[in-house]
Amino acid sequence: MEPNLSADFTLPAWLPDAVRLYLDHTEDGLSLRQLARREGLAASTVMRQVRRYEARRDDPLVDEALAALARAQGAGSVTPDPDRKDAPEMTAPIRPTPVTLDEAGIDREARRVLRRMAEPGAVMAIAPEMQKAAVLRTGRDGKMVQTAVLDRAVAQAFALKDWIGVRKQGRLTSYEITTQGRAALKRLVEDEDRRRQAHHGAFGLAEAAAAFGTADPVEAEGGAAARRLRYTLTESPVAVLARRRDKDGRAFLEPELVQAAERLREDFELAQIGGRIPQGWDGFLPAGEMVEPRPGSAAPLAARDRVALALRDLGPGLGDVALRVCCHLEGLEVAEKRMGWAARSGKIVLRIALQRLRRHYDETYGRAGPLIG
């Protein structure tokens, strides 16, 4: 639904300064010189910023977002009279806009979605009639796999912030993550790590294994946190481990095990639960929670059921490492330390967990399933 605007409506705080200048110039009629005096900038600087967003209106998401913001900025407190014959049809479908999004919500979605867009070959696709956008990438079998879903209004906010840019425009427009988007993801992940570590420390939950004798992973520069961050921004720890060879030259993880890990991760993302649940197996499956598949459930709920069912089958330990590494993209070194395991033991436990997970999928859904969504 459209927001309930009032006369004191102000533009969202998360908007880039250049967008504000553009709207003040085009909607409020302020001249470039007036804006330059107000902001303490050179008139040429203001002109470049305004013209840049004028040129970006070729991007469908940017154009939609700027139009919605302009309507909101000019709407004031005008409320249509339902008794008037020329009153607009209130039951007509209304497209979501970024007007009422807050910065915390955008950042939360960015941590979830941008990390999927940062994967090699990932794109976000959206069409004019779609209320949601989908993040897709090419799977190991060459088929396109959906890895995330987001509201159209969130995609508009990403475009305004220049975190995504048009890759190919047409009936279905595709977007890819920009340099600014990667930088924003890195900052958001680091901020989340610091908050999580501070929370754990405050409640005495910080885990430490004395045998490692290393600094905290969040603060150790170039250490485990840096490695985990690289996984987050490019590919999963499972994909990295899959490239390793044992002493006989065979792949440490067979393609079937990597596929099982990806199934779990895709369901986890589709359930839209990343960042809102505990990291551990027991936190995800509290006592008495229903984990049987529910036929006919909405896609996110069905995906959550599949994740819960898989973790229940794995059990504690194996379920913990699968959830941490496959879903939360936690590096093996970090997982070993936080779970109190010996160094270099994580990859062995993970392989056992993936073997068990593969068997679970085969026995529960068959070789062709489960279907994502």
In this structure, are residues 148 and 269 in contact, taking their beta carbons and an 8 Å threshold? yes
Query: What are 97's two structure tokens?
Result: 């806009």
Burial 77-100 (b: 16+ CB within 10 A, else e): eeeeeeeeeeeeeeeeeeebbbbe
8-state DSSP, 220: -
In the 8-state DSSP scheme, what is residue 326? I
- What are residue 164's DSSP bridge partners? 177
CB contact at 8 A, 19 and 160: yes
* φ, ψ dihedrals at 281, nearest 5°: -60, -45
Which tens digits make up the pLDDT trace of 120-135? 889 999 999 889 999 9
φ, ψ of residue 126 to 5 degrees: the values are: -155, 145
Residue where the block lists tokens 């430490």:
208
Q: Please give the C-alpha separations between residue 61 and each of 126, 194, 330, in angstroms, as whole numbers.
A: 9, 32, 33
Banded model confidence at residue 278, pLDDT cuts 50, 70, 90: very low
Annotate 341-366 with b (16+ C-beta within 10 A) or e (fewer).
beeeebbebbbebbbbbbebbeeeee
Distance, CA of 99 to CA of 83 (rounded, Å) = 27
- Decide: helix, strand or coil at residue 135: strand
pTM: 0.58
Q: pLDDT digit string (tens) for 183-208?
A: 999 898 888 777 766 755 554 443 33
Cα 306 from Cα 297, distance rounded (Å): 11
pLDDT, tens digit, 9 for 90 and up, residues 136-175: 988 766 778 888 899 999 999 999 999 999 999 988 999 9
User: Phi and psi for 256 in degrees, rounded to 5?
Assistant: -65, -35
For 207-247, the pLDDT digits (tens) are 333 333 333 333 333 444 444 444 444 467 888 888 888 77
